[in-house]
Amino acid sequence: MPVPIVDSHIHLFPESHLPTLAWYGPESPLGSQHSIDEYRLATSAVSANAETADPVYLRGFIFIETGRISSAEETGKGWSHALDEVSFLTRIVTGTPVPGEGHRGVDRHLCLGFVPWAPVPRGSAALQKYMGLVRERTTTDEVWKKVRGVRYLFQDKPPGTMVQEDVVEGLKWLGRERLVFDLGVDARQGGLWQLREAVEMMKRVYDGVEESEQVTIVINHLGKPNLRLPGASPASVTAHPDFLEWSALVTAMAQYPRTYMKLSGGFSELPSLSPGLDFDLRSLVERVCPWTDVVFDTFGADRVMFGSDWPVCNVGGGGNEVSWSRWKSVVEQVLQQRKLTDIQKRRVWGEVAVKAYGVEI
């Protein structure tokens, strides 16, 4: 039976929205349209339906907010660009594109769920108001039910942000509303202190809360560890102080049963690959396995999900023609080396994302 892939982490943006992206600039390697047309090209090596002999097929994706110019404060343009992104996703789900946006009516089945930006630091009152505006932008119950959670990036925020009282209270509100929180931190460029603070945030969010009302937290990109640590062998990497602390912090995160980990974002943390045919899969898998071993040892195959981080993966992965399939190959080999059963592999490729986000396939 073919295995459905649910890509748990992609971004989409039409050319007309580029000026609203906080990271956009004329020299940006992602400074052009990246919508479903481009995503279909990137994933073309994988069948788009189950009616084939292929062992896996792409069932769909979870869209994650794209880093719009935004502010937790509602005034000015604080919320408007993020809400425009919701309207863009609404057009994808309803199959009603604006000309030039890069998607068609036949693409609507691919979007299994989406996770918009939200002003988490403002606490539950602001979140309730903002999600009411999101509800208005989605226009129909069909679209609204695909809003599966929210994201607010902490990786570029000052120390102390994650443990502010309003943040903790806001995350508890998300749990009561059955909305997932996607956690974006950056251990390599931002520092391991971000993981330490995230662990403390989780402790405050979960302690004393009934499990039925606890928020599901999905950790993006393995916490963005430093996959470039020097060392001639996995043993030298696993003895490095940075690896040891990252491992301890990931273990602390995994103790909470409502936390999940995305097996994604690796190409952003690894040395860049060329677009050519010199893709050394074996050495790449050897480099990432110490880290993925910790993830599977702590979270288990029931709480780890595949994600491509497309199109960000294109920057370090060799470009749109090869990067998605390269990351899929890396994950395939990681799962093989872990000696996962077919049932466990099926979970990582799609079933864990379906469970964590509560989507239907």
The CATH superfamily assigned to 3-357 is Metal-dependent hydrolases (3.20.20.140)
Q: Give residue limits of the domains in the chain.
A: 3-357
Inter-CA distances, 10 with 43, 105, 137, 207, 342, Å: 12, 19, 21, 31, 25
Cα–Cα nearest to 306, from 325, 287, 321: 325
pTM: 0.96
Inform me whether the pLDDT recorded for 77 exceeds 90: no
Out of 161-170, 275-284, 309-318, 338-347, pick the least confident. 275-284
Structure tokens at 325: 């399939």
Q: What is the per-residue pLDDT for 203? A: 98
Do residues 31 and 18 lie in contact, with contact meaning Cβ atoms separated by under 8 Å? yes
Do residues 225 and 287 lie in contact, with contact meaning Cβ atoms separated by under 8 Å? no
Structure confidence by residue, pLDDT tens digits, 28-49: 999 999 999 999 999 998 866 6
Report the chain's terminal Cα–Cα distance, integer Å: 15
Q: Return the ∠ at Cα 23 (arms to 107 and 77), rounded to 5°.
A: 85
Q: What is the per-residue pLDDT for 143? A: 97
CA distance 178 to 173: 9
> Which segments of 170-233 are extended strands (E)?
180-183, 217-219
CA distance 218 to 258: 8
Q: What is the per-residue pLDDT for 357? A: 98
pLDDT bracket for residue 230 (50, 70, 90): confident
